[in-house]
Structure 1
């Protein structure tokens, strides 16, 4: 079932629900510049066997309002959209699953509104905390000195997005996914091509917004509140992650009180078919444990 939610004045968000209406709600929160359709269909269907699964388009993606030029916003405003989706659908509490920027938004909701969270699963993201990372040998590393984004990713991100037609845009996105997916699993270009064609069909055009990259990042740190967390939290560790490489997941698990860490073999900063089953199993085991 598809539905639009009024998240703020002049801002409407596209949402989709799947699974039994009376099942525990699970909200999927995608990364920067990514639509809700970026959550792969098999993963959504598998989660929907046990949950009322909701996915949505961020502002300036998919079928939601594109209005950053007229009404600039902060990344923190995207976290308020998470609650707006729950409010608009009449959901008091939900399991949150956030990927990349979505994992940061989930952290902000987890810290500011734990009463809205049944559990949280954080994937491919970084801690909104200044707490140092403690290595296995007991030594520490300042949060700001953890490994940065891989050079090949930064090089791609530095290139201007030029308009050369839909086919060229799809090819550009596949090149992007090839780097994000890492080098541990075989890369299936056809699968990612099909994904991007679904995204374009859903959106209605192949333009790419840069709004999230330009949105203000002030007010995102949640060091003390994450350290006092009481919501069951799962951190997914991806060994081939090029955006927030290890030990970012380990650091995140240390920053969020009570968090558990589960590694998905071969995973990078993408959701190809090879990770669907282990990732689904990890999420469902976590939500089931959170339900008691």
Structure 2
């Protein structure tokens, strides 16, 4: 793990592949760390001739945490949004996009292929629309546009996501049961769910940095960002939108809306995929990202 400082915060990152290869920047989702982009997936991309960079968003992993900020009041957040007011939050997705640009600056990278999943897809979309000269291609995975007319998440999946987890240091078994139940709920049926692999992953995240308050602050960042479709219409980078046909958090209509909002975007809906990226799909997804990156080279 290496640390770079940008926008007054530290960002933890690592990379795979040759340092002089064309860069791919991977952006993680809500409350998760860079290790959700697993080493086998990163190696799958690096083997195609890229320098693959993954990093911890602010408030996760080895990057700066905003623990000095008060816990997010979800009731007050919802009330402000319903009243048409902008809630007071520590930061927005635009700040997180600026972090990613700052990371590229720190690595002396002028332009990169940008890939984001879930909330990371939203950050990647903002990068492509607000920093077009820095983004060679955009891949948005299991994400959305902020369009308020889109279908909402399955109520039971949303309830599971928002329910506080047991403290892993006081009740590891309860924490793992909570985490595994949610992961199974959002996974697709196309591949078997690997309990052991998920257990190892979440325990590694806990060991690196456990901060449920950071997840709440990222929820606030998402909530105030709003509808991005007008800005997405200005994106010029070759774009791929990947979405699971069984995604319960962002239904397939969210992926369709993303592709419709971005000129000439390619939509790839994967049967049996939920709101996850299982190893059985690594090669298919890596090939699609590579194909999109090559569109940038030929375009």
- Please give the TM-score of this superposition, normalised by the length of structure 2: 0.86
The question of 1:250 aligning with 2:256 is answered yes
Distance 1:30 1:216 in 2: 14
Q: 1:81 aligns with which of 73, 90, 99?
A: 99
Matched, 1:147 2:146: no
Residue pairs, 1:1-292, within 5 angstroms: 2-9=1-8, 11-49=9-47, 50-70=49-69, 72-128=90-146, 143-163=147-167, 164-201=170-207, 203=208, 205-209=209-213, 210-215=216-221, 217-292=223-298
Aligned to 2:87: none
**Do the aligned partners of 2:113 and 2:135 also contact (CA within 8 Å) in 1?**
yes
Verify the 8 A CA contact 1:117 1:231 in the aligned structure 2: yes
Q: What's the C-alpha RMSD, in Å, of the aligned pairs?
A: 1.9
Q: Structure 2 vs 1, CA of residues 78 and 220 (structure 1 numbering), >3 Å: closer, same or farther?
A: farther
1:131 corresponds to: none
Query: Judging changes above 3 Å, is the alpha-carbon distance between structure 1 residues 215 and 222 closer, same or farther for their aligned structure 2 residues?
Result: closer
Shift of 1:167: 3.6
Extract unaligned runs of 5+ from structure 1: 129-142
Match of 2:84 in 1: none
Residues in 1 aligned to 2:220 and 2:226: alpha-carbon distance in whole angstroms: 15
CA shift for structure 1 position 220: 4.6
Q: Distance in 1 between matches of 2:225 and 2:182?
A: 29
For 2:60 and 2:104, the matched residues in 1 are separated by 19
- CA deviations 1:11-70 (Å, max 9, x no partner) are 211011110111100000011111101112211111112211100001111111112434
1:40·1:271 contact (CA, 8 Å) conserved in 2?
no
For 2:15 and 2:221, the matched residues in 1 are separated by 28
1:96/1:290 CA distance change after superposition, 3 Å = same
Q: Deviations over 1:209-259 (max 9, x none)?
A: 332123374355433332132110000021111111112111111101110
Kept in 1, the 8 Å contact 2:143–2:243? The answer is no
Residue by residue over 1:134-170, the C-alpha shift from the partner in whole angstroms, topping out at 9 and shown as x without a partner, is: xxxxxxxxx4332110122112023223324334323
- Say which is worse superposed, 35-44 or 163-172, in terms of deviation: 163-172
Provide structure 2 residue ranges, at least 5 long, that are not aligned to the other structure. 71-89
Q: 1:152 to 1:196 in 2, by over 3 A?
A: same
- Alpha carbons 1:264, 1:275 under 8 Å: kept: no
Paired residues of 1:233 and 1:260 also in contact (CA < 8 A):
yes
- Identify the range of structure 1 (149-158 vs 93-102) with the bigger mean alpha-carbon deviation: 149-158
| Cα distance change of structure 1 residues 70 and 146 upon mapping to structure 2, 3 Å threshold | closer
